[in-house]
């Protein structure tokens, strides 16, 4: 279980000064102590596993904000386009996120936490001590039970709802899933992609030289997604059959991501 060890106190790092925030002027961890539990999530709008976790974060924010839970998103971008404030702000608005989001383009918060991936969840109690953490998708029921535990320490008279039912069949506790294809990062993993016509290498992408250029991957899993920028709004786009075709020259393909296949009968 990803609970913090009982014999070691791990205190919440303070957010570095000078961070840019969305949905709030700024937020300090020391001002939350004594009155709120804080759930910090490291995420990226261009990572499909972050997007799949987001509905749970939204539900927890709606369910427990009045009971003393503060949800904070830390947007640490995995792709070059995510470092742009305007691009990140549009994504937050488009996704309907109304809890505070810290923009972490230089990974200052990520390093302070020693975070290991997207999404990364950390639950701090009212004393500012770590009580629960989890990397990746899953463990939604256990996370919500941990949230309820720390909220009851703030107010033992709370009446709390039953944990959310799984939003997808593959989210059910204990479900066994087939291994999925590993994500593809470009340009360093060009060999894993079948390319049609000319693509040129960039910082963290390959760019279509003309309209009609295509890229295709073979994969196992539930679905394939392409990370795109250039003449399209930067982000993840479903890629039916693992294929991307450039409608315009200059399309940038940063990589492919894959989701688990739902269990049989799900």
Residue 170: name the closest of 250, 236, 90, 258 by CA: 258
For residues 152 and 219, state if they share a domain. Answer: no
Q: Is the peptide bond before 123 cis (omega within 30 degrees of 0)?
A: no
For residues 200 and 116, state if they share a domain. Answer: no
User: In terms of pTM, does the model score above 0.75?
Assistant: yes
Query: Can you give the pLDDT at residue 177?
Result: 81
Per-residue pLDDT for 112 more than 60? yes
Per-residue pLDDT for 248 more than 60? yes
CA distance 212 to 197: 8
Look up the domain containing 206 and give its range.
184-259
Q: What is the count of structural domains for the chain?
A: 2
Reported as a single tens digit per residue, the pLDDT across 56-109 is 999 999 999 999 999 999 999 999 999 999 999 999 999 999 999 999 999 999
For residue 7, tell me if it sits in a domain: no
Per-residue pLDDT for 7 more than 90? no
Query: Can you give the pLDDT at residue 1?
Result: 45
Report the residue count for the chain. Answer: 266
Reported as a single tens digit per residue, the pLDDT across 162-183 is 999 999 999 998 888 888 899 9
For residues 207 and 89, state if they share a domain. Answer: no
Query: Can you give the pLDDT at residue 4?
Result: 53
The CATH number linked to 92 is 3.40.30.10
Sorting pLDDT into bands at 50, 70 and 90, what band is 2? low
For residue 49, tell me if it sits in a domain: yes
């Amino acid at each position: 279980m990803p609970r913090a060890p009982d014999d070691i106190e791990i205190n919440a790092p303070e957010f570095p000064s000078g961070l840019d925030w969305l949905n709030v002027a700024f937020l300090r961890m020391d001002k939350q102590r004594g009155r709120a539990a804080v759930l910090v999530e490291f995420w990226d709008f261009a990572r499909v596993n972050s997007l799949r976790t987001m509905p749970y974060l939204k539900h927890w924010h709606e369910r427990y904000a009045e009971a003393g839970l503060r949800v904070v998103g830390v947007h640490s971008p995995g792709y070059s386009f995510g470092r742009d404030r305007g691009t990140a702000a549009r994504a937050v608005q488009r996704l309907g996120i109304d809890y505070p989001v810290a923009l972490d383009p230089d990974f200052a918060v990520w390093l302070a936490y020693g975070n290991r991936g997207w999404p990364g969840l950390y639950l701090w109690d009212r004393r500012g001590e770590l009580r629960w953490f989890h990397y990746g998708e899953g463990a939604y029921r256990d996370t919500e039970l941990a949230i309820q535990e720390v909220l009851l320490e703030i107010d033992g008279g709370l009446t709390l709802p039953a944990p959310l039912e799984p939003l997808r069949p593959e989210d059910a506790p204990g479900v066994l899933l087939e291994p999925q294809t590993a994500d593809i990062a470009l340009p360093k993993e060009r060999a894993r992609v079948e390319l049609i016509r000319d693509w040129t290498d960039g910082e963290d992408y390959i760019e279509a030289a003309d309209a009609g250029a295509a890229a295709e991957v073979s994969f196992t899993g539930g679905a394939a997604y392409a990370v795109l920028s250039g003449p399209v709004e930067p982000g993840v786009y479903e890629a039916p059959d693992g294929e991307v075709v450039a409608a315009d020259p200059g399309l940038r393909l940063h990589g492919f991501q894959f989701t688990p296949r739902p269990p049989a009968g799900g």
